[in-house]
Amino acid sequence: MKSNKKLLIVFLLVLNSIGILHANYAFYRKVTSTCKSYHVDITSDNMQLNMDSNNFTINLTSRRNNFEMIMIIGFAAAGQAIIHQKHLQGTINNYNPVIPAQVSVFVTVPMGRGDTIFSAEANAFLVQELADGSLDTAEFMREIKDSIQTL
């Protein structure tokens, strides 16, 4: 009887983690497809979804000194993924969405002998507004300007 309880507990844990893995995969997939539609190369190795700190981090590389555009694409891609997660939550019963509270974007700009890295952070609400078009890019950049740093 004890082994049946242990087996049931293990089965429920595995079943629960499969849902989380599917949500992570769906989130990463949506970010990847959005970035690729803007011809920005990205792999899942360049993304990190940390549910403990409720933060999503994405690392992108700029081809030229246009880090602002690449940064906005990173934020918009994360916003599209959050919107997609909310849509899945509404259409799939018992779906546990992955919705980070904070999004961090790091953009590497090749310059001279070394690279320059720019970083910025935004909350999920601003990122969603950017993605759905209710906030234009100039206003979005004004909102996050204090968080932009050079590393």
Query: Over the stretch 99-134, which tens digit does the pLDDT of each residue have?
Result: 899 999 999 988 777 888 899 999 999 999 999 999
Kindly report the number of other CB atoms within 10 A of residue 57's CB atom: 20
The model's pTM is 0.81
Bridge pairing between strands 114-123 and 102-111: antiparallel
Give bridge partners of residue 120 from the DSSP assignment. 105
pLDDT in tens, 68-93: 999 999 999 999 999 988 888 888 88
Q: How many helices (H) and strands (E) does the chain have?
A: 4, 5
